[in-house]
Chains A and B, each alone.
Chain A
Amino acid sequence: MPSKAKSCETCHENPATVHLTEMANNHVVLEKHLCDQCASKQGIIGKMQMSLVAELLGNIKDKQKGAAKEADVRCPDCGMLYSEFRAKARFGCSRDYDVFQKHVLALLEKIHGSTEHVGKRPKGAPKALPAAAKGAAEVPGPKGPAKAAAKAPADPVAELEKELEKAVKGEDFERAAKLRDRIREAKARKEGKE
């Protein structure tokens, strides 16, 4: 006898392959069994992907309750507001990483346990940590990798020190300690090079 698979609750046609269970206080509050197509249409698959980021963003907000009333920031390039980013959990352009920097640092730390990329770099991109200052988001620029690399940005140490100051002010001492280590490393790297 064929084992009868549960069919999709919405179309009653395809087999249910997406099984959603929502829990609250250790009790199941909602169960849904859908096929891929219907789950996509209802945005459930996208929602599942987004929930991690949204949840993390929520946590970060709670932590920053003190500064809750601050004005929404808008990216001058893509026009995205920080509040929109929070809702979509997707950036509008690469500049958003700098425009929403304060939030982005905390978010990346939460997701990855790190904010600093230590892997490969496009040829021509500077090896050391350059300033993440305005405009430095994209290396190489639209004119091609070689040219853009020439305008390698300013002092990495200064940038890290700025971040450290911020961390201390915000009483985020864990982060401050990490930054201090990185400043030491960056200084050592710099001296080694010169």
Chain B
Amino acid sequence: MINIDDLAGKTGEWLRGTGPDSDIVVSSRIRLARNVAGRPFLTVASHKAKAELEAQIREGLEGVNLGKGRLYVALKDTSPVDRQFLMERHLISRDLLNAEGDRGVAIAKEESVAIMVNEEDHLRIQVMRSGLQLEEAWREIDRIDDEIAAKLPYAFHALHGYLTACPTNAGTGMRISVLLHLPALVMTRQIDKVFQALSRINFSVRGLYGEGTQASGNFYQISNQATLGKPEIALVQSLSDVVPEIVRFERHCREKLAKEQRTALEDRVYRACGTLKYARSISSEETMELLSAVRLGSQLSLLPEIKPGTVNELFVTTQPGHLQKQEGRPLSPQERDLARAGLIRGRLGGR
């Protein structure tokens, strides 16, 4: 049996920096929203109903093959630091972190599978992959969903499909998100063009931690808006079609920067690396910004000694929850800035 502390020692599969187009596509994620038939949605569920639901779903999930190393975290009894830690790893949402009452998350397969219980919907099933691997993620989540359906009767409507608490998720209940690192599009001021084009074809763009968050570190999540009226595979295909276009555009801008603004680019990358290697205190915001430049530099072979996986990992492990988990105690913002700088120096071989 593993626990949260075991997760802290390593990082999830999706952060490895491997997989197709992983220089730009950090991860591919699919989630399905599902509700148990005959039960009230969480919008109106009483404490008792929530407790019953969590118990019923936990039991149902026990018979489902989620792969090795599974773990269930009952969030009601979990410390704020641990909850924050899980959110930073994209294993739970901010809503689940802030919710009250009985709720939890089942995690498996080196964090590539996470099933949130009692979030906005009874179940939020998530599969994550490193790089651009949407079809693979879909095949896996489809299988898991079938297995869960055999244990828990889903709320399903003959006309509208899977029923969800929010009408924006009804139908397939499926949200596909691809996390992209787009520093060159930002530097060359092309990013707004991309956003406008995406919104015209009904994709939404959000920051690193989902809805309502700013895109820090030049990370952007692209997802489908509509969930009803198209089969799942068509939704997967629509993102599989559009993401390579963005990847190509970002690569083009990277090459252009490397050719036409070589000195400015090198200056930015090496300054960022220098600060990260030697700073004694650093804020989360500055870290994101500088790591973004270092990630770009490492992809463009300006920093061959720094592995892409190391940088990916630092984006997550320098977050407040992770730092406090590592230190084993709550830290003030000032203490976090010191701990963060120390962690980065260690990982990047500074002094």
Asked if A and B are interacting partners, one says: yes
Tell me the dominant secondary structure on chain A's binding face: loop
Which are the 10 A-B pairs with shortest beta-carbon distances?
A114-B229, A117-B161, A5-B285, A112-B228, A94-B155, A142-B38, A92-B44, A130-B158, A138-B37, A112-B226
Structural contact, A90 and B41, CB atoms closer than 8 A? yes
- Chain B residue numbers with a CB within 8 Å of A92 are 40-41, 43-44
- List which A91-109 residues lie within 8 A (CB) of chain B: 91-94, 97-98, 104, 107-108
Shortest Cβ gap from A119 to chain B (Å): 4
- Chain A residue numbers with a CB within 8 Å of B231 are 118-120
Structural contact, B44 and A111, CB atoms closer than 8 A? no
Structural contact, A131 and B158, CB atoms closer than 8 A? yes
Structural contact, B229 and A52, CB atoms closer than 8 A? no
Decide yes or no whether B160 CB sits under 8 A from chain A: yes
Q: Tell me, in angstroms, the Cα distance from A174 to B98 when the chains sit together.
A: 43
- Chain A residue numbers with a CB within 8 Å of B153 are 122, 138, 140-145, 148
Q: Tell me, in angstroms, the Cα distance from A67 to B282 when the chains sit together.
A: 59
Shortest Cβ gap from A20 to chain B (Å): 8
Structural contact, B41 and A141, CB atoms closer than 8 A? no
Give 26 CB contacts A-B under 8 Å: A17-B214, A17-B216, A36-B94, A45-B211, A79-B44, A89-B166, A89-B167, A91-B41, A91-B43, A93-B44, A94-B41, A104-B160, A108-B228, A111-B228, A115-B228, A117-B161, A117-B162, A117-B228, A119-B172, A119-B230, A122-B149, A130-B158, A137-B155, A139-B156, A142-B38, A145-B149
Structural contact, B229 and A112, CB atoms closer than 8 A? yes
Query: CB < 8 Å: which of A49, A91, A98, A107 contacts B212?
Result: A49
Shortest Cβ gap from A3 to chain B (Å): 6
Structural contact, B160 and A115, CB atoms closer than 8 A? yes
Interface size of A as a range:
35 or more
Decide yes or no whether B213 CB sits under 8 A from chain A: yes
Nearest opposing residue in chain B for A121, CB measure? B156
Question: Contact residues of B with A, CB < 8 Å?
Answer: 35, 37-41, 43-44, 94-95, 98, 120, 142, 145-146, 149-150, 153-168, 170-172, 174, 207, 209, 211-214, 216, 226-232, 275, 279, 282-286, 289, 333
Shortest Cβ gap from A44 to chain B (Å): 7
Decide yes or no whether A189 CB sits under 8 A from chain B: no
Structural contact, A15 and B212, CB atoms closer than 8 A? no
- Chain B residue numbers with a CB within 8 Å of A98 are 157
Shortest Cβ gap from A137 to chain B (Å): 5
Structural contact, A132 and B158, CB atoms closer than 8 A? yes
Query: CB < 8 Å: which of B155, B168, B226 contacts A138?
Result: B155
Structural contact, B167 and A142, CB atoms closer than 8 A? no
Q: Tell me, in angstroms, the Cα distance from A145 to B37 when the chains sit together.
A: 10
Structural contact, B214 and A18, CB atoms closer than 8 A? yes
- Chain B residue numbers with a CB within 8 Å of A153 are 158
Question: Known contacts A90-B120, A91-B167: does B44 contact A78 (CB below 8 Å)?
Answer: yes
Q: Tell me, in angstroms, the Cα distance from A52 to B35 when the chains sit together.
A: 22
Structural contact, A90 and B166, CB atoms closer than 8 A? yes
Query: CB < 8 Å: which of B41, B146, B214 contacts A93?
Result: B41
Q: Tell me, in angstroms, the Cα distance from A140 to B179 when the chains sit together.
A: 35
Query: CB < 8 Å: which of B163, B228, B285 contacts A94?
Result: B163
Q: Tell me, in angstroms, the Cα distance from A77 to B44 when the chains sit together.
A: 11
Q: Tell me, in angstroms, the Cα distance from A153 to B174 when the chains sit together.
A: 26
- Chain B residue numbers with a CB within 8 Å of A39 are 212
Known pairs A93-B40, A145-B149; list 15 more (Cβ under 8 Å).
A3-B286, A5-B286, A19-B214, A36-B209, A49-B166, A79-B44, A91-B166, A93-B39, A112-B226, A121-B161, A129-B159, A131-B158, A132-B159, A132-B160, A140-B154
Q: Tell me, in angstroms, the Cα distance from A98 to B166 when the chains sit together.
A: 14
Structural contact, B94 and A40, CB atoms closer than 8 A? yes
- Chain A residue numbers with a CB within 8 Å of B229 are 112-118
Q: Tell me, in angstroms, the Cα distance from A101 to B287 when the chains sit together.
A: 50
Nearest opposing residue in chain A for B145, CB measure? A120
Query: CB < 8 Å: which of B39, B41, B44, B168 contacts A53?
Result: B168
